[in-house]
């Protein structure tokens, strides 16, 4: 399950937002069912950010949000109100990924 939280962040608050988002992601990462996450910034619209995370299921994510609400609270002023929880319906791993035959390990 993929969770996307998109945020609009004024340039003057970008550093503060990133620090708060990193803290929130760390709290989410400590919750059961967390598979991975990242924070991204739009190349085309630098004020558009995303907090993306993957979960074993929607229930894990919803419980994690409850546990992380204090860490997420400062981000709420920036959040775009839109659906952000997606179930996976198809996945195609990269042929060049770490599992690919002959792939060079990262150091």
pLDDT tens per residue across span 4-45: 999 999 999 999 999 999 999 999 999 999 999 999 999 999
* CATH architecture observed for domain 2-86: 2-Layer Sandwich (3.30)
**Residues contacting 12, CB < 8 A, separation 6+:** none
Would you say 75 and 3 are in contact if contact means Cβ atoms under 8 Å apart?
Answer: no
Would you say 24 and 68 are in contact if contact means Cβ atoms under 8 Å apart?
Answer: yes
- pLDDT computed for residue 99 by the predictor: 63
Burial state string for 73-93 with b = 16 or more CB within 10 A and e = fewer than 16: eebeebeeeeebeeeeeeeee
- pLDDT computed for residue 78 by the predictor: 98
**Dist CA 79 CA 60 (whole Å):** 21
């Amino acid at each position: 399950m993929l969770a996307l939280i998109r945020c609009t962040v004024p340039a003057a608050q970008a550093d503060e937002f990133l620090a708060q988002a990193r803290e929130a992601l760390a709290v989410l990462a400590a919750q059961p069912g967390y598979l991975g996450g990242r924070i991204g910034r739009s190349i085309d619209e630098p004020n558009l950010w995303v907090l993306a995370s993957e979960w074993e299921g929607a229930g894990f994510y919803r419980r994690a949000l409850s546990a992380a609400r204090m860490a997420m609270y400062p981000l709420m002023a920036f959040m775009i109100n839109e659906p952000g929880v997606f179930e996976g319906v198809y996945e195609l791993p990269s042929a060049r990924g770490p599992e690919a035959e002959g792939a060079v390990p990262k150091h």
